[in-house]
């Protein structure tokens, strides 16, 4: 036994060594674990101390929603403060779905129980049963409306599902655009605290929807209303539908007419339902009003007269001094009341069928016919090609020049050796052929461009055409690739051939002639303190101007527009009118009857241009027969109003009429 004792001692020593108090490998892992714990603690501290704002912002964005409501559009008035376009309340029955969460849940449990009771293994999914439950509850509420309104409306399940998924915080519309009687029954019949409510919005209102519809324009639904001034642009946002101008002044001044957006910021629960009360709320504000230069009385008179001819046409009347547009009529037209609350397919198709969309006062470019002879006269006078008191040609109904015959289409006879005033009054074509040949086409074209007849006027309306043309030899070579011939000069002299202008341009032209200047900038905005426009003088001597105006006045007394003084129904008592008729032939198309004028001759105030498309081929006197009566209707109403007694002191002319 003693032999084994050393071995035991050795083994005992080894055993003691194997239980040392430390091991380097273990200590290494202590440091590793400590480092990991410190890293974790530092990360937690960083997240809690330095990223608190970030998580708070994320929580805010997740738990808050923004609902925006557009402000009503501003009103549009005529120059005397009479309402042309306003807003009317539009009533709809809506259901606030976020108040029905408990009912939806109970109905879902009932639907699921009923399906399971059938024992059918092919059951709808949970999502499908939720959709069925929601549609059932909404139909129950809609049935309450049906009883009160004697209707039979049904819920559109697809539309409801779409609304529930994307617009839960917005009220769901059950019945839209209620009649006044229906609105009254619902106000009496619906409980105050019901999820069913009558929602009031605004839509455009037109006291007379046929007054200047092309000028006023129309609006359409805008699902993306402006929200720049409302806080919370980083939140999930629900927007009530607004409106946006699509034509006319509604389009041009859309930014001014748009109301200020209001809205509410809500907290929502994890399911997206609203939690009251709201965190922030602001009421929408109506947009700014617009006072136009239109005179409603004159506009209605012009529109009524234009419609009598049952032909496309336009009429424009300007304040000679300020350029303000008193009348801008275009036919065929449409009724703006058909656009409120929305334009139907049937109404849109009717407008399209009648070609009534276009505003012919600014969008249609016509040959001006003999009204252009006023421009030819000015060019010839200023160039010295003619003088007022000397004849330049003997009109025998036809003249042979440049190897061909040129016919005088006006008068159907011989004018003889006429002076400028008689040539204007009787509209002698041969006189103006000769005047243009003497002045040269370049001079006539340059004069027309000086009056800005080759460019848009810049009126505050969309879609003004750029198709106006003032031809010249250089223009014809560039645009058509052909030489200029004497016949081209003759055509241009009488407003035929390639010449194209709009009714608005001719109204500006005759207003400029009345002031003795070369350009009138038209405007549809009224200002009480609007200054008189001043542009470059025409440059006629007093004698030349007197001869020009004498011819234009004689046109309305003994000439081609004498119906204005010989027919009692067209006569404007006590008013001297300077005018010029014209009938332009459009090859392959209808004629265009023109009349331009201003009055009174001795102190001009109002300028008018009328153009009416005719349906009689080769007609030569359409201006006096068709266009002049429209001008007469405007002038009679204008001077009738001027002769009215002034309003009593203290009564503003801008007070809207009821």
pLDDT at 273: 67
Alpha carbon distance 236, 400 (integer Å): 81
Residue 474 confidence class, pLDDT cut points 50, 70, 90: very high
* CB proximity list for 294: less than 8 A, separation 6 or greater: 78, 79, 84, 212, 215, 325, 326, 327, 328, 524
pLDDT at 2: 47
Helices 101-117 and 126-149, axial angle in degrees (round to 10): 120
CB 260 within 8 A of CB 246: no
Q: What is the mean pLDDT of residues 559-582?
A: 94
* CB proximity list for 370: less than 8 A, separation 6 or greater: 410, 427, 429, 494, 495, 560, 580, 581, 582, 583, 594, 623
Which region among 75-79, 391-395, 527-531, 650-654 has the lowest average model confidence (pLDDT)? 650-654
> Who has greater pLDDT, 413 or 156?
156
Alpha carbon distance 556, 551 (integer Å): 9
The token duo for 98 is 């976020």
Residue 643 confidence class, pLDDT cut points 50, 70, 90: confident
Q: How many C-alpha atoms does 65 have within 13 Å on its Cβ side?
A: 21
Q: How many C-alpha atoms does 442 have within 13 Å on its Cβ side?
A: 2
> Who has greater pLDDT, 58 or 131?
131
> Who has greater pLDDT, 248 or 222?
248
The 3-state secondary structure of 184-195, one letter per residue? HHHHHHCCCCCC
Task: Examine the pLDDT at 651 and tell me if it is beyond 50.
Answer: no
Q: Best-predicted range by mean pLDDT among 81-85, 95-99, 224-228? A: 81-85
Task: Examine the pLDDT at 141 and tell me if it is beyond 70.
Answer: yes
Q: What is the mean pLDDT of residues 600-627?
A: 83
pLDDT at 38: 80
Q: What is the mean pLDDT of residues 304-310?
A: 93
Residue 432 confidence class, pLDDT cut points 50, 70, 90: very high
pLDDT at 222: 78
C-alpha closest to that of 523 among 291, 315, 296: 291
DSSP assignments along 321-369, one per residue? TT-BEEEEEEES---GGGGSS---HHHHHHHHHTT-SS-HHHH--B--G
Alpha carbon distance 382, 370 (integer Å): 19
The token duo for 415 is 């004018």
pTM summary value: 0.82
Q: What is the mean pLDDT of residues 219-223?
A: 84
Average pLDDT, the chain: 87
Which region among 202-216, 494-508, 618-632, 633-647 has the lowest average model confidence (pLDDT)? 618-632
Which region among 80-94, 224-238, 387-401 has the lowest average model confidence (pLDDT)? 224-238
Alpha carbon distance 451, 596 (integer Å): 15
Residue 233 confidence class, pLDDT cut points 50, 70, 90: confident
CB 404 within 8 A of CB 571: no
Task: Examine the pLDDT at 252 and tell me if it is beyond 60.
Answer: yes
pLDDT at 11: 47
Q: What is the mean pLDDT of residues 507-529?
A: 97
C-alpha closest to that of 581 among 628, 618, 546, 547: 628
Residue 92 confidence class, pLDDT cut points 50, 70, 90: confident
CB 324 within 8 A of CB 521: no
Alpha carbon distance 380, 435 (integer Å): 6
C-alpha closest to that of 584 among 615, 551, 622, 610: 622
> Who has greater pLDDT, 10 or 88?
88
b/e code 408-417 from CB counts within 10 Å (16+ = b): bbbbeeebee
């Amino acid at each position: 036994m003693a032999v084994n004792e050393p071995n035991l001692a050795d083994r005992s020593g080894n055993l003691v060594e194997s239980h040392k108090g430390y091991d380097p490998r273990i200590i290494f892992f202590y440091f590793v674990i400590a480092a990991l714990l410190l890293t974790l603690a530092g990360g937690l501290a960083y997240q809690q101390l330095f990223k608190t704002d970030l998580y708070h912002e994320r929580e805010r964005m997740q738990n808050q929603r923004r609902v925006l409501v557009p402000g009503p559009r501003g009103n549009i008035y005529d120059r005397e403060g009479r309402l042309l376009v306003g807003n009317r309340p539009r009533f709809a029955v809506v259901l606030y779905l976020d108040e029905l969460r408990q009912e939806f849940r109970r109905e879902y449990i009932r639907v699921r129980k009923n399906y399971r009771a059938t024992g059918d293994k092919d059951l709808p999914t949970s999502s499908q049963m939720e959709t069925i439950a929601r549609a059932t509850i909404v139909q129950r509420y809609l049935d309450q409306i049906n009883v009160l309104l004697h209707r039979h409306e049904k819920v559109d399940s697809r539309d409801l599902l779409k609304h529930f998924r994307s617009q839960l915080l917005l009220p769901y519309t059950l019945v839209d655009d209620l009649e006044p009687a229906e609105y009254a029954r619902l106000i009496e019949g619906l409980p105050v605290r019901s999820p069913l409510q009558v929602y009031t919005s605004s839509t455009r209102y037109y006291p007379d929807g046929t007054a200047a519809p092309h000028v006023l324009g129309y609006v359409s639904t805008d699902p993306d209303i402006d929200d720049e001034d409302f806080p919370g642009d980083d939140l999930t946002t629900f927007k009530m539908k607004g409106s946006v101008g699509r034509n006319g002044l509604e389009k041009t001044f859309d930014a001014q007419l748009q109301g200020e957006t209001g809205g509410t910021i809500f907290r929502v629960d994890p399911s997206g339902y609203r939690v009251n009360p709201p965190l922030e709320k602001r009421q929408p504000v109506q947009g700014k009003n617009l006072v136009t230069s239109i005179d409603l009385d004159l506009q209605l008179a012009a529109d009524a007269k234009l419609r009598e001819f049952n032909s496309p046409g336009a009429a424009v009347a300007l304040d000679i001094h300020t350029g303000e547009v008193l009348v801008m009529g275009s036919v065929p037209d449409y009724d703006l009341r058909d656009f409120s609350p929305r334009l139907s397919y049937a109404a849109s198709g009717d407008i399209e069928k009648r070609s009534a969309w276009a505003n012919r006062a600014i969008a249609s470019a016509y040959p001006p016919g003999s009204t252009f002879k006023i421009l030819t006269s000015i060019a010839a006078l200023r160039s010295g090609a003619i003088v007022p008191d000397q004849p330049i040609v003997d009109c025998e109904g036809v003249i042979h020049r440049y190897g061909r015959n040129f016919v005088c289409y006006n008068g159907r006879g011989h004018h003889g050796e006429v002076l400028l005033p008689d040539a204007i009054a009787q509209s002698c074509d041969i006189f103006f052929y000769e005047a243009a040949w003497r002045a040269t086409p370049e001079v006539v074209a340059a004069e027309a461009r000086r009056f800005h007849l080759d460019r848009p006027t810049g009126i505050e309306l969309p879609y003004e055409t750029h198709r106006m043309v003032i031809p010249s030899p250089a223009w014809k070579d560039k645009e058509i690739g052909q030489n200029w011939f004497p016949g081209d000069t003759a055509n241009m002299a009488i407003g035929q051939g390639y010449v194209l202008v709009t009714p608005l341009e001719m109204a500006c032209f005759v207003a400029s002639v009345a002031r003795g200047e070369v350009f009138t900038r038209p405007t549809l905005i009224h200002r009480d303190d609007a200054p008189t426009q001043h542009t470059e003088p025409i440059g006629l001597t007093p004698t030349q101007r007197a001869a020009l105006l004498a011819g234009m006045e004689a046109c309305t007394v003994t000439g081609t527009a004498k119906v204005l003084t010989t027919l009692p129904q067209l006569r404007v008592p006590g008013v001297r009118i300077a005018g010029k008729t014209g009938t332009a032939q459009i090859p392959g198309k209808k004629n265009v009857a023109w009349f331009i004028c201003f009055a009174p001759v001795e102190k001009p105030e109002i300028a008018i241009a009328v153009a009416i498309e005719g349906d009689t081929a080769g007609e030569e006197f359409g201006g006096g027969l068709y266009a002049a009566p429209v001008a007469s209707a405007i002038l009679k109403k204008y001077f009738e109003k001027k002769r009215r007694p002034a309003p009593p002191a203290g009564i503003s002319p801008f007070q809207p009429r009821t």
